Copies of this chain bind each other. A is one copy, B any other.
Amino acid sequence: MPKRVDHRERRALIADALMRVAAEQGLEAVSLRHVAAAAGVSAGMVQHYFRTRDEMMTFALAVVRDRNEARVSRALGALGATPAPRTLLRTMLAELLPLDEERRADGRVALAFLAYTAVRPAVAAALHDETAALLGFIAGQIRAGANPGVDPERAAVGLLAVMEGLGIYLIGGHYPPETALAALDTQLDLLFGPDPDRGSGD
């Protein structure tokens, strides 16, 4: 048994198991023993890499955020340089929507963490900056390309809220992915005017 192991790899392995447990049974089912079992390792090993459950949770929360960030930057990277603002926003927001089962699973975990942080203000504070930055970015894109007369800051808040809300309802299975995408495009139509690349309807 080698003495030197990659800590990051092990922690990622465990966090992965944690997210599987959380996605299937919720955060309250996330215990040392459950996560260890899901990862196929001993409880002692989990304890070796995360000294407390809180530490494990915090790490997993960071993983969730990193995954989303990676998804977005990958999607945006495939877009080529200087895409149109509308295209950029649509790509980014659609990527953040839980449209397939993989993202739905991640979405369930993210939702669980949302409720988790809602009663732990100290943890939640770390997310404010992220939202503010995202809002600023979206506002910039809107300013660059949207109809005159729309307030970029306000429209950005609305657009991000649409994405978040659509995600919630998708996770709950209240409507199919197509409905969410249609609503997203409708929202973009409202801000940018009808998309010339798409028939104004379906």
Give chain A's interface residues, CB within 8 Å of chain B: 23-28, 108, 111-112, 114-119, 121, 124, 127-128, 131-132, 150-151, 154-155, 157-158, 160-166, 168-169, 171-175, 179-180, 182-184, 186-187, 190-191, 201
Contacts and interface: CB of A to CB of B under 8 A. Distances in A.
22 contacts: A23-B119, A24-B119, A26-B116, A26-B118, A27-B28, A28-B28, A108-B115, A111-B115, A124-B173, A127-B174, A128-B172, A131-B174, A150-B186, A154-B183, A157-B179, A157-B180, A161-B164, A161-B168, A162-B162, A165-B168, A168-B168, A190-B190
B26 A115 contact: yes
Contacts of A201: 151
A23 to B, nearest CB: 8
Nearest to A160: B165
Contact of A112 (B115, B124, B150, B191): B115
Contacts of A179: 157
Contact of A162 (B28, B112, B150, B165): B165
- Rank and list the top 9 A-B pairs by shortest CB-CB distance, nearest first: A161-B165, A164-B165, A165-B165, A157-B183, A154-B186, A28-B28, A115-B115, A26-B119, A190-B190
A171 B151 CA distance: 24
Looking at A112, A155, A190, which has the most chain B CB atoms within 10 Å of its CB?
A: A190
A169 B164 contact: yes
A166 B174 contact: no
